[in-house]
Structure 1
Amino acid sequence: MTTDTTTATPNARRDHASGELDITAYPAHERFRGPRPAVLVLPGGAYRFHSEHEGEGYARWLSGIGLHAFVLRYPLMTEHRFPAPLESCRAALEWIRRSEHGLDVGTHVGVIGSSAGGHLAGLLATGTVLPTEQLAGPPPRPDFAVLAYAPADLYLLPDEPVEWILDGRMDLRGALSPVRNIDADTCATFLWATAEDPPGFPNALAYATALFDAGIPVELHIYPRGRHGLGLANGVAYGEHGDNHIPHTARWAEACEAWLGAEGFLEDVKAG
């Protein structure tokens, strides 16, 4: 299946480099008609690069099941500091909802992220605001979140990578841990990781437990096999990064689609 793509560069609220958000839009497949749910896609890459298989790969899958997908290349820690990537994600979420891209977006706008992108997705879902930020109002939040092997608690990670991500500001470790920012407005969440992924497995368990304790709808899948950064695990490569083909683990996408339907987030989707 192929999906037509368009590149959108809307004006951002803040200038991180060019004064524009770097977003690629993947419209829902043409067999779907009417308003469609939308998803902000945040690829992983350890805040050093953007993994194409967790960006374009996810977007093409989402397009194929009837959602508009928007891949954001958020500011990286090689040139920026927090809250720059979080600000970019907030601006992208608001831009998608305003429909300035010309696509017919329905009731629901969600977020999906893997690894570093999953960390950002968790920060969006919990409405995280850093102590150093002064916002004019509450931050925008998604209606649902999908987190793949995402660091939800930075205290579960080794000090060295956390210190690099935070540019030495270890006092922000708790503030930038989604598991510590869950509140009643946190959205329903789908989580998955593998037992062979040391960072992903304990973080997924911790976040799922905290969501459950807070009464937030959550679904968690822990698969027995697969390294960190699997993506769809379907063996399709994008650029220099590809997915290992692990058929059982690859069923997470099917489980996620079923969850989206069960929670009512696909109600806008109508296939022609």
Structure 2
Amino acid sequence: MIKHKFVCGEPDFPVTVTFTQPAAIADFHVQPRRPLVILLPGGGYRFYSDRENEIVALQYLAQGFAVAVVQYRLVTNPPVLPTALIQLGMVVAEFHRHAAVYGISPDHILVAGFSAGGHLAALYADLWPLLSWDCHVATSNLKIAALALAYPVIGLRLGWPTDEATRVAITAKWPAHEADQLVTPQNPPTFIWTTADDETVPADNTERYTAALQRNGVPVTSKLYPHGPHGLSLARAVTAFPRKSASTGEQFIRPDVAEWFTNEMAWLDHLWHLNEFWLNQGG
């Protein structure tokens, strides 16, 4: 496995990226071009959740994907928007322009966001055609091929945040922060999931974004699981809180919800014809 950190973007909008890719399989005598996952962990725009960071990246790496985890702007350095969107655009453009260097396929870029990271991901999927001027790159270098959202914040009017101070720290006077109201037919195909009784980010967020995508003719696969708290991550014991730190750790083990990653990979397989993608490497 090859892993390194780098900083990209312009001086006013630097962004740190942790890039990881599996080592090439020597027997194949081919240096593959891998699909890329740009991963945006949640954390309420206050931190980057470790439960949605490397442990999730490893799942994609096991499928042969490269992964770039992005340290986008937080409320500790307000406002978050539009800086975080510009940072994300610069990361996408970096991989488009230097795809050969990173060994990735620029036609197979997935942005995956959890919770608040899902908010940023959804806004980017809505607004990417408009970011060319801010990112100083060609619009074609900002395009992504797919979007995956896990229990995402979609609109700041839809239950999170609950305090005005956080809302202001995220948006200041930036008006484009209600992702369900910004969807266009140019949005990428989307996989989205949440639980019906999410106590922090109501399921209404996911339902409204799904409906907006459908109205605009954007392919969407939406999964609403009946039960589970916010922040399930992999919904397995490995990402559940230990009893020593939280008495409710068992709630984060949901075998039915844990199927989300398998379902997402099946969706990507259908979307990208992954068997043919891998078999045609070096052709």
* TM-score of the pair, normalised by structure 1: 0.85
Displacement, 1:14? 3.8
Partner SS, residue 167 of structure 1: helix
The aligned counterpart of 1:9 is 6
Distance 1:101 1:91, change over 3 A: farther
The aligned counterpart of 1:226 is 228
Partner SS, residue 277 of structure 2: coil
The one-letter code matched in structure 1 to 2:121 is A
Aligned partners of 1:265, 1:8: CA distance in 2, in Å?
A: 30
Q: Is the 8 A contact 1:37 1:268 kept in 2?
A: no
The aligned counterpart of 1:65 is 63
Deviates more, 1:188-197 or 1:257-266: 257-266
Displacement, 1:79? 1.6
- Written as runs of structure 1 = structure 2, the 5 A alignment for 1:68-79 is 68-79=66-77
Aligned partners of 1:265, 1:166: CA distance in 2, in Å?
A: 43
Aligned partners of 1:185, 1:86: CA distance in 2, in Å?
A: 17
Q: Please, which runs of 5 or more residues in structure 2 have no aligned partner?
A: none
Q: Is the 8 A contact 2:86 2:135 kept in 1?
A: no
Partner SS, residue 108 of structure 1: strand
Partner SS, residue 68 of structure 2: strand
- Written as runs of structure 1 = structure 2, the 5 A alignment for 1:174-213 is 175-198=176-199, 199-213=201-215
Displacement, 1:5? 4.3
Displacement, 1:39? 1.1
RMSD: 3.1
The one-letter code matched in structure 2 to 1:103 is Y
Aligned partners of 1:224, 1:29: CA distance in 2, in Å?
A: 39
Verify: 1:251 aligned to 2:248, yes or no.
no
- Written as runs of structure 1 = structure 2, the 5 A alignment for 1:139-158 is 140-158=142-160
Displacement, 1:265? 6.1
Q: Please, which runs of 5 or more residues in structure 1 have no aligned partner?
A: none
Partner SS, residue 157 of structure 2: helix
Displacement, 1:80? 2.8
Q: Is the 8 A contact 2:39 2:112 kept in 1?
A: yes
The one-letter code matched in structure 1 to 2:34 is R
Verify: 1:96 aligned to 2:95, yes or no.
yes
The aligned counterpart of 1:126 is 126
Distance 1:39 1:193, change over 3 A: same
Choose the corresponding residue for 2:16, options 19, 22, 29: 22
Q: Deviations over 1:178-202 (max 9, x none)?
A: 1111111110000000012042411
Distance 1:63 1:169, change over 3 A: closer
Which structure has the larger Rg? 2
The structure that is helix-richer by fraction is 2
The one-letter code matched in structure 1 to 2:12 is D
Distance 1:93 1:172, change over 3 A: same
Q: Deviations over 1:63-93 (max 9, x none)?
A: 1112111111112111231212112111111
The aligned counterpart of 1:47 is 45
Greater relative contact order structure (CA < 8 Å, 6+ sep)? 1
Displacement, 1:249? 0.6
Q: Deviations over 1:98-146 (max 9, x none)?
A: 2368331112111000001000110111126899x85656482321000
Displacement, 1:167? 2.5
Partner SS, residue 15 of structure 1: coil
